[in-house]
Amino acid sequence: MKIALIQQANSADIQHNKERLKQQIRKAAELGADLIVLPELHNTLYFCQTEDVHHFDLSETIPGPTTDEFGSLAKETGCVLVLSLFERILPGIYHNTAVVIEHDGNIAGTYRKMHIPDDPGFYEKFYFTPGDKGFDPIDTSVGRLGVMVCWDQWYPEAARLMALKGAEILIYPTAIGYDPRDTHEEQQRQKDAWMTIQRGHAVANGIYTASCNRTGLELDPSGKSDGILFWGSSFIAGPQGELIQQLKEDSEEILIAEIDRGRMEDVRRIWPFFRDRRIDEFEDLCKRSIK
Amino acid sequence: MKIALIQQANSADIQHNKERLKQQIRKAAELGADLIVLPELHNTLYFCQTEDVHHFDLSETIPGPTTDEFGSLAKETGCVLVLSLFERILPGIYHNTAVVIEHDGNIAGTYRKMHIPDDPGFYEKFYFTPGDKGFDPIDTSVGRLGVMVCWDQWYPEAARLMALKGAEILIYPTAIGYDPRDTHEEQQRQKDAWMTIQRGHAVANGIYTASCNRTGLELDPSGKSDGILFWGSSFIAGPQGELIQQLKEDSEEILIAEIDRGRMEDVRRIWPFFRDRRIDEFEDLCKRSIK
């Protein structure tokens, strides 16, 4: 099974962003991809740099216009697609939702981002209700996909739950970048931490992990900060956490890599971590803190 | 607060191993260490390469001869010590136990290894009953220590529980190495995975992480394998998973590093992962698998 990650820099022109994504999807399909992942909220700029009620106009239903458009493309190319959309449920209820489209164009399933960040420049708690569907992998013709979104990638619990439910790969559409005002050292620590923790999930669970980020600088409409310099670096790691392939920080590229499920089986035989988990002592993981 | 990790290669001469550890503890104390960590089962060879009933003779009670001996040294040097012993409870019940000795020579607390490995060359399930005391940090004059042992280091749940209980540093006495018959590539993947997952715990929990390994080749008494080439590489990582310092693979050395609790506070402010954990959906972590 071949997976492709499409790393793109977005502009305010939604139609243009979508057209370029479609070009890249067609290109990835020509290169033999079976499964194609797009970055988080790939149709638009990363609008969460400010809290602005007008941005709710960017939301849409699922199914809706984007799933229709990309559904046709999934059917045309014969690829399974992982989309990332601003989902509208009701006035006042919106989610940050990943949608998996089967190669026949139908929706295989959705995942609503469970962990919602909120820190300067990433005001997601204003826009997104935390996911209400739990951590459930999505079955497709290319395998059982543990799709999550961005901030989820910092939570070992989320990765574990997906793996215990039989996910064969963890997939994170992502929008993460540097604060241009941070020092170079701090920037490097942050990017390394981001890679390390996701590779750590791969190790802990003997599972492939794929992270598809956006790239490019997006300005802060409020002018309060220097915006976000999305750090690209989309990557795929193997079941021992080994880095299989990684894109550059600042270029629009496609990563294509082979997923070998036999390797996952082999790694879990030599490292039988699942066998020994002390589930009799894990109850306190459901607490906020333990005093 | 200064922490020291003592990386040593052991022989069959227990007295000699202990004498050399004591020399190194005195040296670390002279270098200003407040807290000194020894490798897993540091008095002896790593006897779990085979299943041999005579090896139970190596066990001892806690308190017992080793805690007395090293307790005197803790008092002499004024350092807190983390020991790792083969603990005898009753005939038929033994644990792989870490002991924290306060700088006045008293026992501050013990931790009984919760996750027990069993794979070729590491037949620990024969020797050690899985720990019966849970994941509890140990309070000392140098802070609240999240002491665990070796195989525990592959479990994000264990690290998380210690952190949620207020541990200020994760500490892993360890005995891990290469199978000399593995390819160089496989050896590197394994060592990288070992570092990655522990650095991942540091990231997930915004906490310092210290891992103290043995070094050197120990032969397999059964002759069935080429023994274990312990890979040293003891290290300490900071609360963003950044590698602060690391020892070589093949030398007996002392690592000394400064622990800055203010940095832990700073990192958890910019990365408030604990705030957003979806504890309402973590119940299934107490299951072996989820169908």
List the structure tokens of A254: 């496609």
Q: Quick check: B106 and B78 in contact, CB under 8 A? A: no
CB-based contacts of B45, cutoff 8 Å, min separation 6: B10, B11, B12, B218
Q: Which of these, A53, A152, A56, lies nearest to A111 by C-alpha position? A: A152
Q: Which of these, B172, B180, B232, B224, lies nearest to B51 by C-alpha position? A: B224
Yes or no, beta carbons of A281 and B154 under 8 Å apart: no
Average pLDDT over residues A244-269: 97
CA distance linking residue B42 with residue B149, whole number of Å: 12
Q: Which of A278, A280, A287, A291 is the best substitution to test chain B (most B C-beta atoms within 10 A)?
A: A278
Bridge partners of B39, per DSSP, are none
Q: Which of B123, B278, B287, B288 is the best substitution to test chain A (most A C-beta atoms within 10 A)?
A: B278
CATH topology of domain B2-286: Nitrilase/N-carbamoyl-D-aminoacid amidohydrolase (3.60.110)
In this prediction the pTM is 0.97
Interior angle at CA A174, CA A171 and CA A179, nearest 5:
150
- Provide the shortest C-alpha distance from residue B65 to chain A (in Å): 31
- Facing residue for A286 by CB, picked from B156, B200, B283: B283
Yes or no, beta carbons of B282 and A279 under 8 Å apart: no
- Provide the shortest C-alpha distance from residue A165 to chain B (in Å): 5
Angle between helices B156-164 and A156-164 (to 10 degrees): 140
The pLDDT score that the predictor gives to residue B291 is 82
CA distance linking residue A25 with residue A166, whole number of Å: 27
Whether the per-residue pLDDT at A163 is higher than 90: the answer is: yes
> C-alpha distances in angstroms, A131 versus A98, A106, A165, B276, B281?
11, 22, 18, 12, 10
Number of residues in chain A: 291
Reported as a pLDDT band with limits 50, 70 and 90, residue A291 is confident
Average pLDDT over residues A145-155: 98
- Facing residue for B164 by CB, picked from A115, A272, A289: A289
CA distance linking residue A85 with residue A50, whole number of Å: 18
Using an 8 Å CB-CB cutoff, list chain B residues near A166: 289-291
Yes or no, beta carbons of B278 and A115 under 8 Å apart: yes
Q: How far is CA A273 from the centre of its chain?
A: 25
- Per-residue pLDDT tens digits of chain B, which is 291 residues long: 999 999 999 999 999 999 999 999 999 999 999 999 999 999 999 999 999 999 999 999 999 999 999 999 999 999 999 999 999 999 999 999 999 999 999 999 999 999 999 999 999 999 999 999 999 999 999 999 999 999 999 999 999 999 999 999 999 999 999 999 999 999 999 999 999 999 999 999 999 999 999 999 999 999 999 999 999 999 999 999 999 999 999 999 999 999 998 999 999 999 999 999 999 999 999 999 998
- Enumerate the domain spans of chain A: 2-286
